[in-house]
Structure 1
């Protein structure tokens, strides 16, 4: 692979973790007026730094071209995720003793799905969100939000204007920043001297175990372990004092982070998860290799199923239009001949087409109207939420298909 500098240590990244070929940006949904226009495809060639072990994509597509006014991922459309955020807010409020004189800042605050819970409790909040469209939805809820990317300079400016936060939250953003050094400096600037920073992101160890390669896309610039996260945070004298293993997004980490100067003790869970990572081989370059073979099996199994269904005259529809689904469909070369349409709960996506594959997106009601034999569930990580929602498919003998971690038909 072509060399590029590591985001942590600056060493040339030359070793391949997995190569998924070329794909368009996963959230670049197409309106009908543009479906016949050309699209730009970018490489999804993931490398690993031989020195610090950070698994990473080169910055083929600048972040400000991804998180634009047209960005249509709204966190609040997942009831599971909103409930996850509410539980977190209630817990942090209690554990940290947050109240009217506190400040909670969230980076990549999206449509206010998390901060709304603190706001309702009378706790001052600040959202930092680069995408104007989803930020507008937060502002309409009364969530104070600044439309900007976080970096060292903006972190200092926001801290000077609003104060440093008792709690800084970053959910599914740590993997989304191309300038990791600048972003970490921004986090440090936002965080009060004795404040708590929590970061949630998919755990690379679980990605490998669960063969979750569809979570690789251009929005995700790096794929993290506790070890590599520690190394990145240390660039601004931040230290991981605790870690939780979560079941969100196929297996995530929630890091509890403090300023090193605050002198907080490091909990035993940090060493425990580091030991799990080491046992999985993730403290060596060699332990990361071999993932590509597992990726090929998922691709072949899904294609064999869809081709077999077509030959038998069975109908297949998709459920969901997540970014991960677009990685999967483009890597497998699946088009509307094998998957005529998908549906999504997000009305902002209705009438649009998936990037690369040009599969149309309809409202969820389309499934009941067309009664497909199979429904391919693309957001497989929300299986516990989606299975009950789609239970009505059984009324006509339809079955649900989950492609990851292995092809499952229920």
Structure 2
């Protein structure tokens, strides 16, 4: 990546509020465009194109976007593999969230819509535990993976949400880790409000990554092409308030990695955005120093892996998702890594975009024990360390964040 600012596109404006007061603070001319895809053939993985990344901060509302994002470059199909529910740590988090949402919204015998439902496991849990009827929308749905009780009322539609979706019959709408993939976030939220014209009392729950943590940590591994929109609790709440919703709560969860938002339709339409001037200034300061932190983090990790190899050690990366692809691509260490492993069986045996590395099962590490295991998310360190120990392995374990 390169840190120098570059001129924004002539017509660039904030996709959240419409302001032209954008400041570019980070850019890279070419990064892989589909980090979460995996491929049966290595040649197909190596053919994944690159796209231009630019991070631009809106000084009017705090939203961060990639104004050079081209949605035509990104594909969401059967090769898109984002399911995290194979991890006990993540499953425990998701189970707690299911219970929380059911309690918050009183979801017993109600109608629930999940936009961007992925493989559908979260929606199934909502429906089973609350006796709810569910509708899931996602172009990457895999119904054959779902295990659900007989009688669960569930409809899955392999499609994107948008204006063409029409009216939603819902008591609650859930949208997790989808809005960051949407360029026109204002249009998306307005389309959501319009789709609920027949369900004015519907409750809304959104979940997205927290960009504040990314900026503070210089977490370049959490910045990739599919994520063209970045939020804090303030900027996400502002987006909803300005487009006809009342925000009841906004908070951080999962080790402060995720922004969560609870909202409902405001019958009076748009409301004052609110937000703290001090928070806006703090975010602006983080964007100004982000490039320096990224440079330090990239150097630290590159040196760590190269030092291990120079010492004759074996290095494995645990977690083959989007973070891994960004991490290996940007540090230039793909050829130094001896193995990339993942507990998701639908990733195992397939090849990662850009690097062409084949993903292995964790058990494969016993044949050639690693000396260093780089974990792609610190939330999973305890789980992974325990699994390594169960295989008789005790390598040094370090998490990127």
TM-score using structure 1 length? 0.84
Q: CA 1:138–1:126 in 2, change beyond 3 Å: closer, same or farther?
A: farther
Contact kept, 8 Å, 2:215 with 2:286, in 1: the verdict is no
Give, in angstroms, the shift of residue 396 of structure 1. Answer: 5.0
Where does residue 119 of structure 1 map in the other structure?
127
Q: What's the offset of the Cα at 1:368?
A: 1.7
Match of 2:184 in 1: 179
Question: 2:143, 2:21 → 1: CA distance?
Answer: 35
Q: After superposition, where does 1:63-82 map in structure 2 within 5 Å?
A: 65-82=74-91
Correspondence for 1:169 among 158, 167, 174: 174
1:226 matched residue in structure 2: 233
Q: 1:347 to 1:184 in 2, by over 3 A?
A: same
1:9, distance to aligned residue in structure 2 (A) = 3.1
Contact kept, 8 Å, 2:39 with 2:45, in 1: the verdict is no
- Please state if 1:98 is matched with 2:73: no
1:205 paired with 2:212, answer yes
CA contact (8 A) 2:38 2:45 kept: no
Residue in 1 that maps onto 2:162: 151
Tell me, in whole angstroms, the C-alpha distance in 2 between the residues paired with 1:289 and 1:54: 14
2:87 and 2:144 map into 1 onto residues whose CA distance is 18
Take 2:42 and 2:211, find their aligned partners in 1: how far apart are those partners? 38
- Which secondary structure does the structure 2 equivalent of 1:77 belong to? coil
Q: Which has the higher helix share?
A: 1
Structure 1 gaps of 5+ residues are 405-410
Contact 1:172/1:200 (<8 A) preserved: yes
Deviation at 1:236, TM superposition (A): 3.0
Q: How does 1:272-351 map to 2 (within 5 A)?
A: 274-275=275-276, 278-279=278-279, 281-282=281-282, 285-336=284-335, 338-351=336-349
Which residue matches 2:3?
none
1:258 maps to which of 255, 259, 264? 264
Instruction: Give the TM-score taking structure 2 as reference length.
Output: 0.86
Contact kept? 2:24, 2:55, Cα under 8 Å: yes
Which piece of structure 1 moves more, 380-389 or 235-244?
A: 380-389
Aligned match of 1:34: 43
Alignment CA distance shift 1:34-1:13 (3 Å)? farther
Note closer, same or farther for the CA distance 1:244–1:227 as it changes in structure 2 (3 Å cut).
closer
1:363: Cα distance to partner? 1.2
Shift of 1:313: 0.8
Distance in 2, matches of 1:36 and 1:199, equals 32
Measured on the aligned residues, the alpha-carbon RMSD in Å equals 2.9
State the Cα deviation string for residues 15-38 of structure 1 (Å, max 9, x = none): 223224421121233433516854
Partners of 1:346 and 1:148 lie apart in 2 by: 24
Alpha carbons of 1:379 and 1:65: their partners in 2 closer, same or farther (altered >3 Å)? same
Task: Return the match for 2:200 from 189, 193, 196.
Answer: 193
Q: Determine the structure 1 residue equivalent to 2:138.
A: 129
